[in-house]
Structure 1
Amino acid sequence: MLKYIKQYASTIQGIDIYPTISLLIFVLFFIAVLYYVKTMDKKKVEEISSLPLDLDINQDQHAQVSSH
Structure 2
Amino acid sequence: MAASAQQVSATFDSLQAISESSTETSKQVASLSEGQLASMEEISSATHMLDKLAVNLSSGVGQFKLS
Q: What TM bracket, shorter-length normalisation?
A: 0.3 to 0.5
Give 1 or 2: higher helix fraction.
Answer: 2
Higher relative contact order (CA 8 A, sep 6+): 1
Structure with the greater alpha carbon radius of gyration: 2
TM-score, normalised with respect to structure 1: 0.42
